[in-house]
């Protein structure tokens, strides 16, 4: 069993860079496919990933506490603060940093959190609360700081169903089709492969966009990547500090630091200046470096305790 777990973990480690490489190499066909689908492939994958995640959630088992409110408050306040702080320097840079903070917690955060010894129920409760809150707050923020292509109601109509509807659909499935929902919950690893597919598409779409930009925005692109790194490290650090106050630093760190970057890139490309999507794209790389280090460190500690 341990051997199978190790193989699965190694496959996950290889899958992320492999998906990014495939996306970069096939960027033109992927961009054409997204265009032909009227940009509906990514939202559909996000919906399915959330649906599978929420099929595992029992509403009666969920309890909200101070850690959830503190994490959410940080996310909402800092997303606006970092935007206002960087706006005098560069508007696109400010948008990129803001979306990296505003994006809700990733579905995979629960999986990584479990590897690090986090309380899964705590993280599942925050995932639900965070997605609900961002569904309501994001349209307000994006309509104020975005490219003006969509109104508040237009953004709300596209974002809210994407984040809220999967929960209600999953709970309806649990009620009406308990055997089907149980099978989905038992095979929740499907969401990983959906995430891998969405990651490949996002990288392909972003790579195609960067190639079209040329080298004239190289300095700005580098700045967006560095800002994403700073924001990533800050959120993991603050999340662990908040979690430590409640006896669960791993849950706090993953809940705040590990973002739904697929959703973040989609929102940036849809409602902000498309160049700003480079920041959440870079965030994909940074957060996976952090996760790899944390898993390595946890494994070292476990081996020491076994000796």
The whole-number pLDDT of residue 184 equals 82
pLDDT at 228: 95
> What digits encode the pLDDT tens for the residues 85-94?
999 999 999 9
| Structural domains of the chain sorted by starting position, each given as residue range(s) with its CATH number in brackets | 29-306 (1.20.1530.20)
Query: Which of the two residues, 19 and 236, has the higher pLDDT score?
Result: 236
CA 267 vs CA 130, 188, 204: distances in Å:
16, 25, 16
CB 96 within 8 A of CB 85: no
For the ranges 109-118, 150-159, 285-294, the lowest mean pLDDT is seen at 150-159
Residue 55's nearest CA partner among 184, 225, 162, 150 is 184
- Asked if pLDDT for residue 8 goes beyond 60, the answer is no
Q: Per-residue pLDDT tens for 220-252?
A: 888 999 999 999 999 999 999 999 998 889 999
What does the pLDDT look like over 93-131, one tens digit per residue?
999 999 999 998 887 677 677 777 788 778 878 888 888
Confidence of residue 192 (pLDDT cuts 50, 70, 90): confident
Binned at pLDDT 50, 70 and 90, residue 11 comes out as low
Using CA atoms, how far apart are residues 184 and 76, in angstroms rounded to an integer? Answer: 32
Is the pLDDT at 299 greater than 80? The verdict is no
Mean pLDDT (whole number) for 23-43: 82
Which pLDDT score, from 0 to 100, does residue 86 have?
95
Angstrom distance (rounded) from CA 83 to CA 206: 22
Which pLDDT value is given to residue 214? 65
- Which percentage of the chain shows pLDDT scores above 70? 87
Which residues have CB under 8 Å from 104's CB, separation 6+? Answer: 127, 130, 131, 134, 163, 259, 260, 263
d(CA 106, CA 75): 14
Give the Å distances, CA to CA, from 253 to 68, 76, 118, 247, 290.
12, 16, 9, 12, 10
pLDDT exceeds 60 at position 284: yes
* pLDDT of res. 25: 87
Give the pLDDT confidence score for residue 216 in this predicted structure.
Answer: 66
pLDDT tens by residue, 36-74: 887 778 788 878 887 887 787 776 666 778 889 999 999
Q: What's the rounded Cα separation, in Å, for the pair 123 and 249?
A: 11
SS (H, E, C) the chain: CHHHHHHHHHHHHHHHHHHHHHHHHCHHHHHHHHHHCCCCHHHHHHHHHHHHHHCCCCHHHCCCCHHHHHHHHHHHHHHHHHHHHHCCCCHHHHHHHHHHHHCCECCCHHHHHHHCCCCHHHHHHHHHHHHHHHHHHHHHHHHHHCCCCCCHHHHHHHHHHHHHHHHHHHHHHHHHCHHHHHHHHHCCCHHHHHHHHHHHHHHHHHHHHHHHHCCCCHHHHHHHHHHHHHHHHHHHHHHHHHHHHCCCHHHHHHHHHCECHHHHHHHHHHHCCHHHHHHHHHHHHHHHHHHHHHHHHHHHHHHHHHC
pLDDT score recorded for residue 131 = 81
């Amino acid at each position: 069993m341990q051997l199978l777990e190790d193989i699965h973990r190694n496959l996950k480690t290889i899958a992320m860079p492999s998906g990014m490489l495939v996306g970069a190499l096939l960027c033109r066909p992927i961009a054409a496919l997204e265009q032909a689908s009227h940009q509906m492939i990514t939202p559909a994958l996000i919906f399915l990933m959330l649906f599978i995640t929420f099929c595992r959630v029992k509403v009666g088992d969920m309890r909200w506490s101070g850690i959830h409110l503190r994490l959410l408050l940080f996310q909402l306040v800092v997303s606006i603060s970092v935007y206002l702080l960087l706006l005098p320097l560069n508007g696109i840079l400010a948008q990129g940093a803001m979306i990296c903070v505003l994006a809700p917690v990733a579905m995979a955060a629960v999986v990584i959190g479990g590897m690090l010894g986090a309380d899964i129920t705590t993280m599942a409760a925050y995932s639900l609360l965070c997605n609900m809150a961002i569904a309501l707050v994001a349209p307000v923020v994006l309509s104020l700081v975005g490219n003006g292509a969509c109104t508040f109601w237009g953004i709300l109509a596209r974002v809210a169903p994407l984040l809220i509807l999967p929960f209600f659909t999953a709970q309806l499935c649990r009620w009406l089709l308990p055997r089907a929902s149980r099978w989905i919950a038992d095979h929740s690893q499907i969401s990983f492969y959906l995430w891998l597919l969405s990651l490949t598409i996002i990288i392909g779409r972003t790579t195609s966009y960067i190639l079209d930009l040329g080298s004239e925005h190289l300095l700005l692109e580098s700045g967006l990547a560095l800002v994403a790194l700073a924001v990533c490290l800050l959120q993991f650090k603050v999340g662990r500090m908040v979690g430590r106050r409640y006896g669960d630093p791993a849950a706090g760190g993953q809940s705040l630091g590990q973002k739904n970057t697929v959703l973040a890139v989609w929102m940036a490309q849809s409602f902000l200046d498309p160049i700003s999507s480079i920041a959440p794209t870079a965030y994909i790389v940074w957060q996976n470096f952090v996760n790899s280090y944390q898993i390595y460190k946890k494994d070292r500690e476990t081996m020491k305790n076994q000796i």
